[in-house]
Amino acid sequence: MRYLQLLESCAICPRECRVNRLKGEMGFCKIAGGIKVSKAFLHFWEEPCISGKNGSGTVFFSGCNMGCVFCQNYEISQKRFGVYIDIEKLAKIFLNLQAKGAHNINLVTPTIYVPYIIEALEIAKRKGLSIPIVYNTSAYEKPETIELLRGYVDIFLPDLKYFDDEIAKKYSNAPFYFEYATKSILKMYEIVGDVKIENGIMKKGVIIRHLVLPMHTNDSIKVLSWIKDNLKGKVLLSLMSQYYPMYRASEYKEISRRLTKREYQKVVNFVLENDLDYGYIQDLDSATDEYTPDFDLEGI
């Protein structure tokens, strides 16, 4: 349990709340000691190289170190729906998903649980866990925390949400988001290297997701320009149009609607003109709420 001591003065994420979570103290994420999860199942709605034919063995963790006003998973990220389990149980969940034929273990919003996840992976690997591990994150991370995952994670699936810090603070209460996210994404690439796909299934590498927001196409283009200048041809890009105004999005007029065809096409054109289409470009009609799973404690 050598990693759990990191929670005695928690600085796992950029917020560095310095609370003792092992003694029940709560910081921004409102999660004290223990592992809280809401669902573990075979997920078929991720990128094709992640979900494949059999599905991605996805574990949804409760709580989040972001505060996105438009979060599709707000029931678990902001309202923290779920149940507490121990490390042995988490390891068992990983093994059960592998037994069901999952192509990988997909850890969704895992940041605040990194010490527990490492311990659970060590147990599960001793008991035969062998499929790739996917770290599915908002990228509001510290590179030092990402470094802890070296040798444990095979695929990093980070968002790169914003370029402008004022936008990040307004919609996600995430100061210095771009600075932390880009440094952490570079660390992710350093750890796992170039993309490796076998028979259509990703085995290692980085997929950067970017969700285009209404009225913010210029910020999207700045995000994509950074990818072009730093990681072009080295990672997969997943450009997402599925923005749907949920949770508190109605409080912000400019993002209280879906994307227009013109807005999305502007960003798609930038991707195509700069040869960034090494990955996935989502159809505009993906903007519905059907991508939000039912958080029903399945598989827990």
Q: Which residues are annotated as a binding site for [4Fe-4S] cluster?
A: 64, 68, 71
| b/e code 139-169 from CB counts within 10 Å (16+ = b) | bbbbeebbebbeebbbbbbbbbbbbeeebbe
- Contact, 234 vs 277, CB < 8 A? no
DSSP letter for each residue of 157-216: EEB---S-HHHHHHHH--TTHHHHHHHHHHHHHHHH-S-EEETTEEEEEEEEEEEPPTT-
- Could you tell me the two tokens for 277? 């289409």
- Contact, 202 vs 195, CB < 8 A? yes
Binding-site residues sit at: 64, 68, 71
DSSP 50: H
Burial class of residue 128 (count of CB atoms within 10 Å of its CB; 0-12, 13-18, 19+): exposed
CA–CA gap between residue 143 and residue 216 (Å, rounded): 27
CA–CA gap between residue 193 and residue 187 (Å, rounded): 10
Question: How crowded is residue 188: how many other Cβ atoms within 10 Å of its Cβ?
Answer: 28
